[in-house]
A and B are shown apart, each in its own frame.
Chain A
Amino acid sequence: MLVLEQILNGLQLGVMLFLMSAGLTLVFGIMRVINLAHGSFYMIGAYVAATVAMKSGSFMLGLLAALPAAALVGMAVELLILRRLYHRDHLDQVLATFGLIFFFNELIRMIWGRQPLFMDVPPWLAGSVQLLPGIHYPVYRLAIILVGILVALFLYLLFSRTRLGMRIRAGATNREMVGALGVNIRLLYTLIFGLGTLLAGLAGVMAGPILAVEAGMGESILILTFVVIVIGGIGSVRGALVGAILVGLVDTLARSFLPDLFRLVLESSSAADRMGAALASMSVYIFMALILSFKPAGLFPVNQ
């Protein structure tokens, strides 16, 4: 019973990671830009949603306000800053986007103050349901899983069935050629970046009711997001989905069962707890190292 519940928890964490990593991997794979500030858009999504939800009393209004906000700020950043960095090397991009993290954290503090914001689950998603006898699961976490599935479906259709998706794929393969064929590649890049930050914003909104909405909240999820896209294969949205679910499951299951395993082996239970905790926090990185030793380009490498 507990195992099933923990698997659900792992799935739910995986879905959150997918929302974050889909945008990041798109931007990296297609635009070849390392965007360390991706977590900032997650934070912006959460802050705008929390503020609007608090003022209006409606979670949906918060969601509707946060998505365009995250996308617009993202597109502004692309226009003003990243556009100048496409031809520079990765170090310059890392420096600039790392600077953006500080900029956005401080901006948030200036606008909203140091007080973490309050954001509640909408009443129709509060409470928990009985999935199987003995398993009660919060409805809101199920909703997160559902949103993740919908987003995965949407991205799949966008890339495989629409003209825009075709252009994006083409742009990733050969930027110059697509430009020569008369596609406005600059606009395309701005749109992709906006889509990526919109997804980050969505992740932020979904996280708002269960996590602390505070300046710097993006950094705690950013590292795992990078692990996900490295495991999945940089640039592959399918890789991001599989990688995110795997990382979510490994992290959750290790945290819940490793201490128990150690307790079976070791005499002292407090030593077991400490060993288990230490190893559990490493588990994701050990998993990443394992994957990379067999598949150095990740699970779904993108041909470049």
Chain B
Amino acid sequence: MKQAGLRCCEHAALTVNKQIMMKKTIVCILAIVLNAVLTHAGEPVKIGMITTLSTKAGYLGEEIRDGFKLAVTQENGRLGGIPVQLLIGDDGRCPEKGRQLAERFIKKEKAKILTGIVFSNVAMAVVPKVVRQGIFFISPNAGPSQLAGKGCHKNYFNVSWQTDNLSEVIGQYAMEQGYKNVYIIAPNYLAGKDNVAGFKRFYKGKITGEVYTTLGQADYAAEIAALRSAAPDAVYFFLPGGMGINFLKQYARAGLTKKIPLLGPAATDERLLQAVGEAAVGVINSSQWCADFQTPANAAFVDAFEKTYGRIPTLFASQGYDTARLIGSALAAVGGDVSRMDEFRAALEKADFTSVRGAFRFGPNHFPIQDFYVRQVVKKQSGGYANKLLKKVFNDHQDAYVGQCVHR
């Protein structure tokens, strides 16, 4: 870098045309100054982010990445005062690709901290392998039950929730509302069944129907007709991403939105709302965070996010932001030296940062102990749609697998 800068300065001096010479000189001075700054600051701590940016689910990774990057930008390229370099790779929702990215970040880039994975299947392919190699993995989203229970590891931390949690909230809420008959609809794959299990852990009423659809199904006319004839008090639906958009639009077309309430775990994030619009109004969804939390930390986050990216953040963005801030707090504690592993881990366990969701601490399995809420989709007076905080459902809630966790 320095050499390139010098060489370009020599070249600039030789140039005859004055205007070009001026420009070149400015460029090479900039190069030298930049170089000096970088050298002076020392090697930045590398953080490898494996996330899902392509495929239909790509917006989830984008939210997490943008939330994370916002925290880094706010500190001018630092976290906790320590310069960081963020390496970003797209796993395309594919476990094999996630593993390759992890390999590259660890072997080639010598990153000691990994983060970013959105989906449980990718997490299960990457996390157990890397944490055993003495790499820290701080998850901003995926929280499969295996990593919370028997497969927990001292180098693994989760800043979001255990997968079942958001459905447990809905189960508890359905009980509090006194719903007697609930109809369940979820895709036929692992996370679908985990979520239904989470719902049933707290909902003890009658289940009038339990439908498992094909993953990625587009048309729900048949399911909606069957649902209507079952006439339940409420519908529990876990249909992430595009499936949820399809379902909500068709549910509204069938004229059911105002008749049978819809409840879903984090079902209507702010990005999805822009695509569903009016059809989502009234939907109840669970979250550990809401854009309208009035804490100073959250107000500042939402404001900065909107200014930077021109959209309202989703809970995924809040998780990315919190993940970056948590890493920052631990980096500050060890002065940026991640090789002091025990101290770094102890600092992470302390979770000495102000989470935008409010109170935050880790349980013994390094999953959060936190409050959970339900939100409801409303039409904003200024136009557009938003999630409005409805009520708190759980205080200091912990996942169901923590008892099975023994750290290795």
Q: A residues near B, CB below 8 A? A: 1-2, 5-6, 9-10, 12-13, 16, 105-106, 109, 114-118, 120-121, 126-128, 136, 138, 140-141, 207, 209-217, 220-221, 252-253, 255-256, 259, 269-270, 273-274, 277-278, 280-281
Q: Evaluate contact between B216 and A117: CB separation under 8 angstroms.
A: no
Chain A CB within 8 A of B233 CB: no
Tell whether A118 pairs with B250 under 8 Å between CB atoms, given A2-B225, A2-B226: no
Q: Evaluate contact between B249 and A210: CB separation under 8 angstroms.
A: yes
Q: Evaluate contact between B254 and A128: CB separation under 8 angstroms.
A: yes
Chain A CB within 8 A of B151 CB: no
Q: How far is the CA of A138 from the CA of B346 in the complex (A)?
A: 58
Chain A CB within 8 A of B36 CB: no
CB nearest to B219 among chain A residues: A13
Chain A CB within 8 A of B342 CB: no
Q: How far is the CA of A141 from the CA of B226 in the complex (A)?
A: 17
Chain A CB within 8 A of B44 CB: no
Which one, B210, B216, B229, contacts A273 given CB within 8 A? Answer: B210
CB nearest to B224 among chain A residues: A9
CB nearest to B255 among chain A residues: A128
Q: Evaluate contact between B249 and A209: CB separation under 8 angstroms.
A: yes
CB nearest to A219 among chain B residues: B216
Q: Which of B11-19, B268-276, B358-366 contacts A (4 or more CB under 8 A)?
A: B268-276
Q: List chain A residues, Cβ under 8 A from B255.
A: 127-128, 136, 138
Chain A CB within 8 A of B222 CB: yes
What are the 8 A-B residue pairs with the smallest beta carbon separation, nearest first? A212-B245, A277-B212, A9-B221, A212-B242, A116-B275, A114-B59, A256-B222, A281-B214
CB nearest to B276 among chain A residues: A118
Q: List chain B residues, Cβ under 8 A from A259.
A: 211
Q: How far in angstroms is the closest Cβ of chain B from A110?
A: 12
Q: List chain A residues, Cβ under 8 A from B212.
A: 273-274, 277
Tell whether A211 pairs with B274 under 8 Å between CB atoms, given A2-B226, A274-B212, A277-B188: no
Tell whether A116 pairs with B211 under 8 Å between CB atoms, given A138-B254, A141-B221, A216-B55: no
Chain A CB within 8 A of B218 CB: yes
**Residue among A12, A213, A277 with most chain B CB within 10 A:** A277
CB nearest to A270 among chain B residues: B210
Q: How far is the CA of A278 from the CA of B188 in the complex (A)?
A: 8
Q: B residues near A, CB below 8 A? A: 53-56, 58-59, 62, 188, 210-214, 216-219, 221-223, 225-226, 229, 241-243, 245-246, 249-250, 253-255, 271-272, 274-278
Q: How far in angstroms is the closest Cβ of chain B from A260?
A: 8
Q: List chain B residues, Cβ under 8 A from A221.
A: 218
CB nearest to A134 among chain B residues: B229
Which one, A6, A105, A109, contacts B225 given CB within 8 A? Answer: A6
Q: Evaluate contact between B59 and A277: CB separation under 8 angstroms.
A: no
Q: How far is the CA of A273 from the CA of B185 in the complex (A)?
A: 11
Q: Evaluate contact between A277 and B211: CB separation under 8 angstroms.
A: yes
Q: How far is the CA of A148 from the CA of B213 in the complex (A)?
A: 26
Q: Evaluate contact between B221 and A116: CB separation under 8 angstroms.
A: no
Q: Evaluate contact between A12 and B254: CB separation under 8 angstroms.
A: no
Q: List chain A residues, Cβ under 8 A from B249.
A: 209-212
Q: List chain B residues, Cβ under 8 A from A127.
A: 255
Q: List chain B residues, Cβ under 8 A from A141.
A: 221, 253
Main secondary structure of the interface of B (DSSP, over half): helix
Q: How far is the CA of A16 from the CA of B250 in the complex (A)?
A: 15
Known: A140-B253, A212-B242. 9 other contacts (CB 8 A): A5-B225, A109-B54, A136-B255, A210-B246, A210-B253, A211-B218, A214-B56, A217-B242, A256-B225
**Residue among B221, B245, B255 with most chain A CB within 10 A:** B221
Q: How far in angstroms is the closest Cβ of chain A from B311?
A: 8
Q: How far is the CA of A209 from the CA of B223 in the complex (A)?
A: 18
Which one, A2, A207, A253, contacts B229 given CB within 8 A? Answer: A2
CB nearest to B58 among chain A residues: A114
Q: How far in angstroms is the closest Cβ of chain A from B102?
A: 23
Q: Evaluate contact between B222 and A114: CB separation under 8 angstroms.
A: no
CB nearest to B250 among chain A residues: A210
Tell whether A215 pairs with B56 under 8 Å between CB atoms, given A209-B249, A256-B226, A274-B188: yes
Q: List chain A residues, Cβ under 8 A from B210.
A: 269-270, 273
Q: List chain B residues, Cβ under 8 A from A118.
A: 274-277
Q: Evaluate contact between A252 and B216: CB separation under 8 angstroms.
A: no
Q: List chain B residues, Cβ under 8 A from A1.
A: 229
Q: How far is the CA of A22 from the CA of B58 in the complex (A)?
A: 31
Q: List chain B residues, Cβ under 8 A from A128.
A: 253-255
CB nearest to B385 among chain A residues: A118
Q: How far in angstroms is the closest Cβ of chain B from A128?
A: 5
Q: Evaluate contact between A116 and B225: CB separation under 8 angstroms.
A: no
22 A-B residue contacts at CB 8 Å? A2-B229, A6-B222, A9-B219, A9-B225, A10-B222, A109-B58, A127-B255, A128-B253, A136-B254, A207-B218, A209-B253, A210-B249, A211-B249, A214-B275, A216-B56, A217-B218, A220-B218, A221-B218, A259-B211, A269-B210, A274-B188, A281-B214
Q: Evaluate contact between A255 and B223: CB separation under 8 angstroms.
A: yes
CB nearest to A272 among chain B residues: B210
Tell whether A214 pairs with B242 under 8 Å between CB atoms, given A116-B275, A138-B254, A259-B211: yes
Which one, B62, B243, B276, contacts A114 given CB within 8 A? Answer: B62
Q: How far is the CA of A32 from the CA of B278 in the complex (A)?
A: 45
Q: List chain B residues, Cβ under 8 A from A255.
A: 213, 222-223
Q: Evaluate contact between A212 and B246: CB separation under 8 angstroms.
A: yes
Q: How far in angstroms is the closest Cβ of chain A from B198?
A: 15
CB nearest to A5 among chain B residues: B225
Q: How far in angstroms is the closest Cβ of chain B from A139?
A: 9
Q: List chain B residues, Cβ under 8 A from A270.
A: 210
